[in-house]
Amino acid sequence: MTIRAARETDLEQILDIYNHAVVNTTATFDVAPRSLEAQEAWFTAHVTPHPVIVWEEEGRILGWGSISAYAPRPAYRFAGEVSVYVHDDARRRGIGETLLRELIGLAATEGLHTLVGLITEENEASIHLAEKTGFRRTGLLEEVGYKFDRWLDVAVYQHRLGA
C-alpha cells in the first residue's frame, strides 16, 4: 500500500471510482458521469495548496482524495473543500480515514486555515468519517440538491487547522 500524490496516469482509475459514485450515490451532486477530458481539467486545476492523493495497491488505485479551492474569491484562499472517494470493492478497510487524515496534514503544511466538507445528510458513513477525523458540523443547507428524483440536504462540516 502506498499513499502518494496523484499522477496524470492515475486519472482513468480516479475517474472510474468517481463515476461509480456519480451514478450510484448521493456522495456527489454530479448527475452524469464525468468525461476524461473534464477530469483532466479538474486535475490541472489542483495545484498547491490543493493536492490530489491516491491509495495504491499493486498498481491499482483503491481510493483518492483532494482538496479543492472552497470558493474563487480571494478572501477564501485559506479554506479548502475536501473530498474522499473509495473504490466500492475496498470499503471498510480504513482507506477513507487514512486518506482524509493525510489531506488534513497536507492542508496544515500548505498553510490552509480550515477545511470544509459538504456531506449529503443521508450519507452516514461520510458523516461518521468526518466526525472521527476532527470535523464538526457547523450548518445545514436544506434541499440544495436534487438527485434521484428527490431533494437532498447537505450538512456542512468544518475542520479548523490553525489558530
Into how many domains does the chain fold?
Answer: 1
- Spell out the per-residue pLDDT of the chain, length 163, in tens: 899 999 999 999 999 999 999 999 999 999 999 999 999 999 999 998 999 999 999 999 999 999 999 999 999 999 999 999 999 998 889 999 999 999 999 999 999 999 999 999 999 999 999 999 999 999 999 999 999 999 999 999 999 997 5
pTM: 0.94
Integer Cα distance of 156 and 86 in angstroms: 21
Integer Cα distance of 4 and 141 in angstroms: 33
Range of the domain at 51: 2-160
CATH of the domain at 90: 3.40.630.30
Backbone angles phi, psi at 108, to 5 degrees: -65, -45
Q: 24 forms bridges with which residues in the sheet?
A: none
What is the H or E stretch that residue 147 is in?
strand 136-147
